[in-house]
Amino acid sequence: MSIIEIQHLNKTFGKNTVLNDLSLELEAGKIVGLLGPNGCGKSTLLKIMAGLTSDYQGKVLLDGHSPDVYTKSIASYLPEKTYLSGWMRPKDAFDIFADFYTDFDRVKAMEMLRQFRLEENMPTKNMSKGMQEKLQLILVMARKARIYLLDEPMGGVDPATRSAILDVTLKQYSEDALMIFATHLIADVEKIFDSVIFLGFGELKLFEEVDVIREKYGKSVDELFREVFACSVSL
Amino acid sequence: MFGKLVKHEFRATARIIPFVYLVTIFLALVHIIMTKLHFDAASKISLVLMIMMCVAQVVVAAALVVWRYYKNMYSNESYLTHTLPVKPSLLLWSKLLVGFVWTLFSFLIGIAVSGVVMVTEFIKSADPLAEISKGYHSLLLLFGLQNQEAVLWIIMIAWMIVMFVMFLAEAYFAITVGSLSKMHSLGIGGPILVYFAEYIALQVVGTLTILFFPLGLEMSTTADGALAGFKLVTQNMFSSLNETISHSGVSGADSGIIGIGYYILIPFIAIGLLCWTAHIIKKHTSVK
């Protein structure tokens, strides 16, 4: 059964259509790459699923519910922006997550904090962008959520940190959950994807399993992506 | 969940606002010490600074509370706020409660500090308590409440609560509407524009209600033009003004009505704005 069901989803910003009649069904137990050029609607789609945008048309269901209190309790969302106040320390952020999310595992969070060599009492305003991204990833992955929505979790960090983030993501991911992973760094992460979604300016260009792509097109996901979006080849 | 939201809201806001109170209290102490030591110039300067700080702390607390609402609900922090598994309306009510407590607290600290300073000032005069008591009783007399002191206190406290809630309701509404997706391109300008539009609309509603709502305070004057007192009447101010204009030039004791309809309407406007804000947060939230 699909844990995410999207039907005829439309979203506009003024005269600009960001999502155009998008329909999609995603099952639990998969890691899905959400790929597309800048401004194609990836972040908007994730925001709608996370309950951050409510002025859309169409149907969006997470575990049978439109985005609401319940879906927020089962979905763990990592935005591309840093959302913690400058005064907040990792321990303050853990307090908030422990208070509001019953699936937040503080022990696991502390373990990841040590793994990333972050200090529990360091205010985020004193952290580098990479450190802040690691902290947010810890918050998201320390939850035993049923759906993970990750928006550019590796944007703006060095290759070593990227590998560390990927390791942590895979280690903490539980196999009965669905993970949607939006990224531009396809070559770095395509090995972890079960399937990929190519989103081209609000429209679904491709939704296919990675193994099938390799068999059918004889290309890697990265190669196919470059071909589809650089040359505007329709599939 | 409401209690947890309130707890974290207090934790976030308590980092700055109490320091403003400390400055006021410090200035009050400086003033008292300078007065005791008879350093007149320093005493006067610290008194002026303290009075300014008493006013400023209410303004600063209100500004911080409103800024916190904007940052937490519609800037980067909103990515956390709006993904918490709580009813969207609870976000508003928790911020309203905490904002109200801080603004009220700022006001009360201002009053308390001023009271302490007043007492130290009055100690210099022959009979300090008689002076305060005289002023208080003339106020009761003016409103015809000599035997109903409790009514005056209830009205004053209720009025203060309503005004603080109204201020927050106006600000939260302006920020929420000004942050709708259609206004994203304006940035912080969106809420500011909406606030001005809302202010003008409320001024128009206020003026019309003051003039035409049939509820007012009848102000009576003595033959020599001195204020004799107030009485509650169910007449509108507009007809009273008309009457005054048509009888202008006639000498003798005069009376006039001050419309107070708007002040009765304010709690309903505040509730309306807050419910509307809660509805927008639930149905039309779109973070940048």
The residue among A96, A102, A124 with the most chain B CBs within 10 A of its CB, best to mutate, is A96
Give phi and psi for A27, each to the nearest 5.
-100, 160
CA distance A173 to A156: 22
Q: In Å, how far are A131, A135, A177 from A185, measured between CA atoms?
A: 19, 20, 22
Containing H/E element for A81?
none
Q: Which of residues 86-115 of B touch A (CB under 8 A)?
A: 86-87
What CA–CA distance (Å, rounded) separates B238 from A189? 74
pLDDT for res B131: 67
Cα–Cα distance measured from residue A62 to residue A3, given in angstroms and rounded to the nearest whole number: 6
pLDDT at B202: 92
What the block records as the tokens of A186 is 């396809």
Distance CA A196, CA A217 (A): 14
Residues of B with CB below 8 A from A14's CB? 182
Provide the domain count of chain A: 1
Touching check for B231 and chain A: CB below 8 Å?
A: no
Nearest CB to B85: which of A54, A92, A100?
A100
Q: Which of B67, B70, B76, B83 to mutate to test the interface with A (most CBs of A within 10 A)?
A: B83
In B, which residues are within 8 Å of A73 by CB distance? 85
SS3 of residue A190 by DSSP: helix
pLDDT score of A233: 46
Query: Which of A50, A54, A99 faces B83 most closely, judged by CB atoms?
Result: A50
pLDDT tens for A165-195 read 888 888 777 778 899 999 888 887 888 888 9
The verdict on a CB contact (< 8 Å) between A14 and B77 is: no
Q: How many angstroms separate the CA of residue B1 from the nearest CA in chain A?
A: 7
pLDDT tens-place values along chain B, 288 residues long:
899 999 999 988 888 888 888 888 888 888 888 877 878 788 778 778 888 888 888 888 889 999 999 999 998 899 999 999 999 999 999 999 999 999 888 888 888 887 777 777 666 655 666 766 777 777 777 776 667 777 777 888 888 889 999 999 999 999 999 988 888 888 888 999 999 999 999 999 988 888 888 888 877 777 666 666 777 788 888 887 777 777 765 555 456 788 888 888 899 999 999 999 999 998 888 887
The residue segments making up the domain with residue A16 are 2-231
Q: Which residue type does B184 have? A: H
| Segments of chain A with pLDDT less than 50 | 233-235
Which of A83, A89, A138 best probes binding to B when mutated, by most B CB atoms within 10 angstroms? A83
Residue in chain B lying closest to A85 (CA): B77
Whose tokens are 């944007």? That residue is: A155
Which of B9, B80, B287 is the best substitution to test chain A (most A C-beta atoms within 10 A)?
B80
Residues belonging to chain A with any Cβ–Cβ distance to chain B shorter than 8 Å: 13-14, 47, 50-55, 69-70, 72-73, 75, 77, 79, 81-85, 87, 92, 95-96, 99-101
**What is the structure's pLDDT at B122?**
64
Contacts of A69 in chain B (CB under 8 A): 85-87
Say if the Cβ atoms of A55 and B283 lie within 8 Å: yes
> What CATH number should be reported for the domain holding residue A136?
3.40.50.300
Q: Indicate whether this model's pTM tops 0.90.
A: no
| Closest Cβ opposite residue B87 in set A55, A69, A96 | A69
Q: Classify residue B139 by burial, with Cβ atoms within 10 Å: 0-12, 13-18, 19+.
A: exposed
CB contact under 8 A, B287 and A47: yes
Partners of residue A104 on adjacent β-strands: A143
